[in-house]
Chain A
Amino acid sequence: MNAPLPAHSFAQLPPISEIWVYLSGSPLLALVLTLSAYLLGLTLYERSQRNPLANPVLIAVLVVTLSITLLDMPYAKYFEGAQFVHFLLGTATVSLAIPIYKGFASLKGRMLVLLLSLVAGGVTSVFTAVGMARWLGVDESLVRGLVAKSVTAPIAMGIAERVQASPTLTAIFAVSTGILGAVLGRYVLDVLRITSWWQRGFALGVAAHGIGTSRAFSVNAEAGAYASLGMGLHGIVGAVVIPYATAVWF
């Protein structure tokens, strides 16, 4: 008894190309793509027992990049939709005050020591990265992207705009630095025989910002709190100092 389907159910459906044009014209496609790629990244990250190499942002960027290339969607078009996610970076930066404030509570008069180490670490980060890159003959347009790479990405991108560096390159280098720091940090700390959790955490937060901080939290709560503090203070100090230092040096 297969009654033929009424003809209009197909006839009224617009051709697939028209559906596509409609979808890609709205911000929904880029938003869905961004959010689902991130969810996929998070799932794989959890499955790998939070291995820093399976970084959810890295996975999501690979998936989205591949998708828009296959869909032949220009980056500008993608960003038009994804900018609603991008906008919240500023709000996230403001929210960093919360972990910094909570970190203050556990300071126990270590502020001066922490600030001195932070400044030394921040200077080391910029000089070694830019110095090495120049020494190895890296293209000058890429070198500028390295200046803010140890600062947490939302602030780093704000700094990038002020030093005429590409926010995109800065974000990529910041994420890579975070991953490298989360993977390599513990070996460096072991070699130097750093045993206090607060010292280990703070160093990870200064060098590898958010990704190092989440790594520190997964090892020890005190290390995590100090890592947040290191990340936040590096963000504030970096935002003030790095544009000046760059203007003098470049």
Chain B
Amino acid sequence: MIQGLVQLFIFQALGELLSKFALSFIPGPVLGLVLLLVFLSLHGKVPEHIDLVGSSILQHLGLLFIPASVGVVLYLPLLQANAWAISAALVVSVVATVAVTAGLLKALSKKHGTP
């Protein structure tokens, strides 16, 4: 388990370094993701210990954004004043996004003949 955690931390650290010194417009963890993806593709499979730790972290991904989300207490008055408009924007946006993505997938795969 520790082995997997250390390897994930190493990829995260490499991503942070790359973001700091070369590609500052991409967040470090995303670069770490890409580096790990490249490593996995070269390796040809997911090493067992990385899979174990990574999958358990992802299974409880929700837990990790609780601390930041609790910051909502700082925005309550502003959110209350805009509650209806924000909800409407979120609903319309998510419906449109699902519709456009799925609609285009369907149309394009018909054209290319992939079922």
**Using a CB–CB distance below 8 Å, which chain A residues touch chain B?**
30, 34-35, 37-38, 41, 55-57, 60-61, 64-65, 68-69, 75, 78-79, 82-83, 85-86, 88-102, 104, 108-110, 113-114, 116-118, 120-122, 124-125, 128-130, 132-133, 136-139, 141-142, 146, 149-150, 152-155, 157-159, 161-162, 166-169, 171-177, 180-181, 184-185, 188-189, 192, 194, 196, 199-200, 202-204, 206-208, 210, 230, 232, 235-236, 239-240, 243-244
Contacts and interface: CB of A to CB of B under 8 A. Distances in A.
B93 A129 contact: yes
B22 interface: no
Instruction: Give 6 nearest A-B pairs by CB, closest first.
Output: A158-B27, A121-B101, A168-B71, A95-B54, A82-B67, A93-B29
Determine chain B's interface SS by DSSP, over half rule: helix
Nearest to A99: B58
Determine chain A's interface SS by DSSP, over half rule: helix
Given A98-B46, A166-B71, 19 more contacts: A55-B62, A75-B71, A90-B16, A95-B58, A101-B40, A117-B104, A117-B108, A121-B101, A132-B93, A150-B97, A152-B61, A155-B27, A155-B30, A162-B25, A167-B68, A194-B105, A199-B109, A206-B98, A236-B33
22 contacts: A57-B63, A57-B65, A61-B66, A75-B70, A98-B51, A100-B37, A114-B105, A118-B101, A137-B85, A150-B93, A153-B61, A184-B94, A189-B98, A192-B103, A194-B105, A199-B105, A199-B106, A207-B94, A207-B98, A210-B62, A235-B30, A236-B33
Contact of B97 (A92, A121, A133, A171): A121
Interface string B43-69: 000100011011101101111111111
B1 interface: no
A138 B82 CA distance: 6
Nearest to A92: B57
